[in-house]
Every structure is written in structure tokens, then in C-alpha cells.
Amino acid sequence: MKKLTIILNVLAPPISVFRKRGIHNDLAINILLTLMFFIPGIVHAFYITSQKNGIL
């Protein structure tokens, strides 16, 4: 994982997910998780950005 991706995962998880997947269901899920509870949003961002393929 690149340093920029790690920094964005921690500071702005939705931006990181958007860079990986674009406008997709995962972005909406990440925005909700980040707004409700910040830590699950970070975990979800790391999960999405660590996957090899763009879409499952």
C-alpha cells in the first residue's frame, strides 16, 4: 500500500475509497460508517483499498 493511501485511510476514509472504487455502493457504506462511527470507517477503507481487484 502506498503512503498516500494509508494517510487518506486514516484522515479521510471516504476519499480513499472513492479513489479505489469511484462512485459505488462501497463509497456510500464508507460514508455512513465514517459519519456514525469513525473507526469502522477507517477499517472499511483499509479493507477496500487492500483488495487487489477494483470490484469483487
Question: Does the residue 36 lie in any domain?
Answer: yes
| pLDDT attached to residue 34 | 96
1-53: pLDDT as tens digits = 789 999 999 999 999 999 999 998 999 999 999 999 899 999 999 999 998 77
Count of domains in the chain?
Answer: 1
DSSP per residue, 1-56: --HHHHHHHHH-HHHHHHHHH-SSHHHHHHHHHHHH-HHHHHHHHHHHHH-SSS--
Question: Does the residue 29 lie in any domain?
Answer: yes
| pLDDT attached to residue 52 | 79
- At residue 37, what are phi and psi to the nearest 5 degrees? -140, 115
Question: Does the residue 56 lie in any domain?
Answer: no
Q: Which domain holds residue 8?
A: 3-50
